[in-house]
Amino acid sequence: MSKYSIQQFIQKSRQEDKGQGLFELETERILEVNLNGDIWAKMGSMISYEGSIKFQREGMLEHGLGKLMKKALTGEGSQLMKASGNGKLYIADQGKKITILDLEGDSIYINGNDLLAFEKGLDWDIKLMRRVAGMMAGGLFNVRLEGQGMVAFTSHYEPLTLMVHPGQPVYTDPNATVAWSGNLQPEFVTDVQLKTFLGRGSGESIQMKFAGDGFVVVQPFEEVYTTGE
């Protein structure tokens, strides 16, 4: 049999049940959700499903008036969808690499554009980075998740986790920052010298400064954020 035959291709690429629970990495860039109930996922992330699953756009007051106002401010009013039912759901986001975390009472901030899916039982809230909103296209917002449950986020290529220690702050490019531990509150600082070095004519070079004890996740890619429709 040719190593390029259809049978060989199917054998190499077909779906496999790994028995890992609700969220499984079917490949590095496709998340399998073994659905039995509800999850939240990024709008438009479904690529395939089997079974009895319904998809519902996030309701206007689904999460209360406070979150509705924040979502209006971020321009991301229709970013989440609810998948409900029983079956297998496959989701992805522009071929980005997927990371799964099982929160065990922990908390984490994830850049809103990189949040792929999370269990309905997790507590979450939207945080708008107001200081940087006017400086970048669409600004930046993030989601704080806390509690018991699984969450999946995406990154362009392999993510790198940097440890933050007291007295040793870590500085990151906001466009390359994916996530950070829930106890950290980043500051925004400007670097005029870096702006001059990069030859950027408009605006300052904005950096995120993480100080304290925790971690921050970056990706080897500067993402351009745009507001939703």
pLDDT for residue 43 is more than 80: yes
Domain range list for the chain:
20-218
pLDDT, tens digit, for every residue of 173-215? 988 999 999 999 999 888 766 655 555 444 557 889 999 999 9
Query: Where does the pLDDT of residue 229 fall: very low under 50, low under 70, confident under 90, or very high at 90 and above?
Result: very low
pLDDT, tens digit, for every residue of 54-95? 999 865 545 555 554 455 444 544 478 999 999 999 999 999
pLDDT score for 198: 55
pLDDT score for 53: 97
pLDDT, tens digit, for every residue of 91-127? 999 999 999 999 999 999 999 889 999 999 999 988 8
Q: Where are the beta strands (DSSP E) in 28-96?
A: 30-42, 46-57, 80-91
pLDDT score for 196: 57
8 A C-beta contact, residue 193 and residue 204: no
Q: Which CATH architecture has domain 20-218?
A: 4-Layer Sandwich (3.60)
8 A C-beta contact, residue 71 and residue 146: no
Q: What is the pTM of this model?
A: 0.83
**What DSSP letter does each residue of 105-172 carry, written as one string?**
EEEEEEETTTEEEEETTSEEEEEE-HHHHTTSTT--EEEEEEEEEEEEEEESSS-EEEEEBTTB-EEE
pLDDT score for 73: 46
Mean pLDDT of 31-39: 96
Handedness of CA 95, 93, 175, 146 (dihedral sign): negative
Q: Which residues pair with 162 in a beta bridge?
A: 216
pLDDT score for 21: 85
Residues 186, 208: Cα–Cα separation, whole Å: 6
